[in-house]
Structure 1
Amino acid sequence: MPHHLMNLRHVPDDEADEIRELFASHDVRYYETPPSRWGISMGGFWVHDDDEAARARTLLEEYQQQRRARQRTEYEHELAAGRVGGFWFRLRQKPVRTLAACLAIVVIAALSLLPFVRIG
């Protein structure tokens, strides 16, 4: 019976490539299904064997911990350098785009809630 190891929806290409290299270097016999363009099928990495699935999941857990630490370090470095930030950072960097996005959120929320407000 196939074992689904990892969903590939919203996975960056560099991460998927690193996982392929990880499986190849550890001789994990896997196959891959691509995610659909419209988000109907999720795609992912799969294996057939139970023992292979357990070994692959262990490798994936170790890889995910290493990637999480690496990405966190890169983010903190970028944050310290002033190249990334939250809402106020974006508002200072691109005020028109940020305010337009906020306005769009308010309009969509108002249109979504309008039928419920008129009921009362």
Structure 2
Amino acid sequence: MSKLLLNLRHVPDDEAEDVRAMLEKADIPFYETPPNRWGITVGGIWLRDRSDYPRARSLMDEYQRERLLRVRAEREQRRREGREETLWQRVCRQPVRVVASLAAVAFIVFLMMLPFLWIEWAGSS
């Protein structure tokens, strides 16, 4: 029976490729399900045999530890070199998106406060 090893939601392509290569190198049979058309499921990497899961999980844990250290070091290097995008740079690059997001947040807060404001308005008349 199959066992899900990696849900591919928010997984970068290079990481998924590394996991595939790791499983092939370890001779662990797997298959991949594609994402569906509407984005409800994003696919996954499945082990064909559930009994391979402990070994695959151990390999995954080691890979993720190594990847975490590598990615953090790369990000720190970009930050030191001034190549890491700051919040202000992102705001300047996408001003419409930022304003729209802030407006949406303000609207949601207003809707959440509306019952309390309604009580206040009704009580003062």
- TM superposition score normalised by structure 1: 0.77
| Structure 1 runs not aligned, ≥5 long | none
Aligned-residue offset at 1:104? 3.8
Give runs of aligned pairs for residues 5-84 of structure 1, distance below 5 A.
5-84=5-84
Which entry has the higher C-alpha Rg, 1 or 2?
2
Q: Secondary structure at the match of 2:11?
A: coil
Q: Taking structure 1 as reference, are residues 105 and 58 closer, same or farther at Cα in structure 2, changes over 3 Å only?
A: same
Q: Which is further off, 56-65 or 81-90? A: 81-90
Partner of 2:115: 116
2:95 aligned with 1:96, yes or no? yes
Aligned-residue offset at 1:20? 0.8
Q: Secondary structure at the match of 1:68?
A: helix
CA distance in 1, matches of 2:94, 2:36: 35
| Structure 2 runs not aligned, ≥5 long | 120-125
Does the aligned pair in 2 maintain the 1:9–1:35 contact within 8 Å? no
Count of aligned pairs: 118
CA distance in 1, matches of 2:19, 2:36: 19
CA distance in 1, matches of 2:70, 2:37: 29
User: Which letter maps to 2:105?
Assistant: I
2:107 aligned with 1:107, yes or no? yes
- TM superposition score normalised by structure 2: 0.75
The share of aligned pairs that are identical, in percent, is 38
User: Which letter maps to 2:26?
Assistant: H
Encode CA deviations 1:41-91: one digit per residue, 9 max, x unaligned: 242111232331111111111111111111111111111122225535544
Aligned-residue offset at 1:22? 0.9
Q: Which is further off, 30-39 or 63-72? A: 30-39
